[in-house]
């Protein structure tokens, strides 16, 4: 018998002063049996950092990610069905990124864990031709601290200013500083 996903619900208030985006998102998240709470919370952070504030049919949405190899963790389509944004969480390989860059106007990767420098050194030379790719690293200690915020029902506030991100629940606040790996000049 297959293990079932665990459902998490998050009300995420975003105040992104860098992009002038202010919104509240009601997220229903499925934690896949092979997924950690750290990865789940990086998905929540990626949604908060990339969503444009809308909740309509053209909003950033969860895809099947781990359950379907042909889908990312998050994606955004316009009203005509055109794939605008493809978001990966973790350390995808260069073939997957090239395929994603061919399908979507914009591809973002949020890499986390202490193994990111090793993964990136092997991947860096292979992605130079992918003009629509952005790769971000979350320091391991910060992504692990985010996992400490995970609860089945969450009320989160995400504040972004000058490249710094604060994620808070009613009892604590965590500072996250995503580091741009690609393109290098940010």
Confidence class for position 52, pLDDT limits 50, 70, 90: confident
Confidence band of 57 (pLDDT split at 50, 70, 90)? low
Residue 94 lies in a domain: yes
We report the CATH number of the domain holding residue 68 as: 3.10.640.10
Q: What is the distance between the alpha carbons of residues 46 and 186, in angstroms, rounded to a whole number?
A: 18
Q: Measuring CA to CA, how many Å separate 18 from each of 21, 50, 134, 160, 178?
A: 8, 12, 17, 6, 14
pLDDT at 58: 79
Provide the domain count of the chain: 1
- Is residue 6 one of the residues assigned to a domain? no
What residue numbers bound the domain in which 68 lies? 13-182
Please give the model's pTM, rounded to 2 decimal places: 0.94
Give 121's pLDDT tier (boundaries 50, 70, 90).
Answer: very high
């Amino acid at each position: 018998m297959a293990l079932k996903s665990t459902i998490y619900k998050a009300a995420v208030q975003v105040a992104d002063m860098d992009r002038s985006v202010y919104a509240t998102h009601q997220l229903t998240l499925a934690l896949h049996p092979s997924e950690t709470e750290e990865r789940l919370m990086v998905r929540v952070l990626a949604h908060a950092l990339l969503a444009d504030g809308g909740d309509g049919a053209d909003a950033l949405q969860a895809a099947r990610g781990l359950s379907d190899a042909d889908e990312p963790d998050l994606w955004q389509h316009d009203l005509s069905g055109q794939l605008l944004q493809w978001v990966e969480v973790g350390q995808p390989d260069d073939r997957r990124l090239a395929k994603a860059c061919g399908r979507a106007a914009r591809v973002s990767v949020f890499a986390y864990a202490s193994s990111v420098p090793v993964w990136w050194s092997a991947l860096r030379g292979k992605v130079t031709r992918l003009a629509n790719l952005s790769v971000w690293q979350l320091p391991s200690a910060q992504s692990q601290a985010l996992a400490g915020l995970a609860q089945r029902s969450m009320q989160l506030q995400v504040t972004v200013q000058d490249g710094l991100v604060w994620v808070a629940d009613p009892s604590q606040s965590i500072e996250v500083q995503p580091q741009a790996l690609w393109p290098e000049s940010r």
